[in-house]
A and B are shown apart, each in its own frame.
Chain A
Amino acid sequence: MSMLYDLLAAPFVDFAFMRRALVACAALAVGCGPVGVLLLLRRMSLVGDSMSHAVLPGAAIGFVISGLSLVSMSIGGFVAGLLVALASGVVTRVTQLREDASFAAFYLISIALGVLIVSTRGSNVDLMHVLFGTILAVDNHSLLLVSAIATVSIAVLAVIYRPLIVECFDPAFLRSVGGHGASYHILFLVLVVLNLVAGFQALGTLMAVGLMMLPAAAARFWSAEVWSLAAASAAIALVSGYVGLLVSFHFDLPSGPAIVLTAGVIYLVSMAVGSQGSLRKNLIAQPHYES
């Protein structure tokens, strides 16, 4: 019994930084889980990835102005992410380039610019912080920020839930009944950027999207309604955070990659044995029903 306690609970009981990291993971899970599901359903998984990198130059400029300061890096990241989202949207509508290509172009520019800015002014350690995050060093301010973003995300999603879902699967219908699909889409993109800024605090720009897309993709193998997908995705993100932190503590591994890899393992297992359209369901012959 005490061995289990040592293994599963003691790190969080004994160390405040582990507790804060766990709370940060919980807040991230609540926000990123549902947002990731909607990104997935809108077939924008890679767009989420691009936008997570787009946050970088803004955060880097914030870093240059005031060092490793939470507020300025967050504001910078938010503004940069939003600019890239809007610019890509405009390029897609006004030119012949498709959405994925225009996002890719902007994110490549962003990440190069961001790395350039950080490395001219900071040390390699700073660069590592920005790229890979510092979840074990989150302070109370970061916790407040991450929790506030999760709260806002859930509230906004609840308000725009119905039109957002219709806009996902039948945009022409929404427009024909007079719904403003584009404004919900933009509001949703703002939520994506906000959650990436939150994830960026904990996991860094390279992996912020990990807690967003991997749990969502894993959840797709377990449920078949939007609300249950969102709940499953948040739960998987939370478990990933908890297990990842434990693994990183016991084996002295970097926590960000440990968390994202845990989510990755859950994804692989779900893909193999999940109850909806998994390898098990699709490859293994099962007795069919009566006609």
Chain B
Amino acid sequence: MSAAAIRLDDLTLGYDRHPAVHHLSGSFGPGSLTAIVGPNGAGKTTLLKAIVGLLRPLAGRIELGAIRRAEIAYLPQQADIDRSFPISVLDMVQLGHWGRIGVFGRISPAMRAAAAHALEAVGLTSFERRPIGSLSAGQFQRALFARTLLQDCPVILLDEPFTAIDEHTAQDLLGLVHRWHGERRTVVLVSHDLEQVRRHFPQTLLVAREQIGWGPTAEVLTPANLQRAGAMLERWKENPEICGRSAA
């Protein structure tokens, strides 16, 4: 797996001209494993959406280097998916082959075998024919990880993948995250679990709309930084002025 880097250059993202991410610069190094941490509303999800191309920057740039947008696997929060939809676990997981099959392509026996492997890797082997609506929250997250596994991308973005699932499932899926890291993929994960971040993620980006810290986890997740992050978002401006900071 050739390692890929993502560089943010004075990036401002937002909705309706209100910035959700303000003048962010830095980079996710090739093959790095980074946690994005910050209070609710800090712009973590917004940042992932922009990297994957679902949101246009208000200012600044995202540089993907040699990789294409389609080579970024993105796992959004569960809330975005209609789980009552009548589709089987296998069919949903096999959508991970999209980059190879597109709109018309056929699923080859090799792809079918890869899907079975991915389901085995997440512990859902006997669930192939079940509709996705019959899965528990944890099982559904396992299925989404299987799909992400099949996408086989150099960059993987995960938005709060361990929220609302039990410890055992989280441990299994963290194992996959480490496997991706070992394969030199660039992995970025949004998390609220500081303990987990300290234990498993070498790099951390702490944001609260502005960048509070970005670097080795131990240096970023200091009490002082965390307090600063919490305080940042409490300031809500009723009538904000136009931001005067110009692009560098």
List the interface of chain A (C-beta within 8 A of B).
41, 159-160, 162-163, 165-166, 168-173, 175-179, 223-226, 229
Contacts and interface: CB of A to CB of B under 8 A. Distances in A.
A177 B151 CA distance: 9
A224 B86 contact: yes
B85 interface: yes
B103 A162 contact: yes
A241 B166 CA distance: 51
Given A177-B70, A178-B70, A224-B131, A172 B76 contact: yes
B74 interface: yes
B117 to A, nearest CB: 20
Given A169-B87, A224-B86, A226-B86, A177 B99 contact: yes
A166 B95 contact: yes
Nearest to A184: B103
Contacts of A172: 54, 74, 76, 80-81
Given A162-B103, A175-B54, A176-B54, 11 more contacts: A41-B86, A163-B103, A166-B95, A170-B95, A172-B76, A172-B80, A172-B81, A173-B81, A173-B95, A178-B69, A224-B86
Nearest to B101: A162
A41 B87 CA distance: 11
A170 B80 contact: yes
Nearest to B76: A172
B167 interface: no
Interface in B44-72: 52-54, 69-70, 72
Contact of B81 (A41, A169, A175): A169
Contacts of A226: 86-87
Given A162-B103, A169-B85, A224-B86, A176 B95 contact: no
Contacts of A173: 74, 76, 81, 95
Interface residues of B, number: 24
Contacts of B82: 168-170
A223 B80 CA distance: 24
B98 interface: yes
Contacts of A160: 103
A166 B91 CA distance: 10
Contacts of B87: 165, 169, 225-226
Interface string B194-213: 00000000000000000000
Contact of A229 (B76, B86, B103): B86
Which 8 A-B pairs rank lowest in CB-CB distance, beginning with the nearest?
A169-B85, A176-B74, A178-B70, A169-B82, A177-B98, A172-B76, A224-B86, A172-B80
B27 interface: no
A215 to B, nearest CB: 16
Nearest to A228: B86
Interface in B78-117: 80-82, 85-88, 92, 95, 98-99, 103-104
Contacts of B54: 172, 175-176
A29 B149 CA distance: 41
A159 B85 CA distance: 20
B85 A176 contact: no
12 contacts: A162-B103, A168-B85, A169-B85, A170-B80, A172-B74, A172-B76, A172-B81, A173-B81, A176-B54, A177-B70, A224-B86, A224-B131
Contact of B86 (A175, A176, A225): A225
A171 B79 CA distance: 12
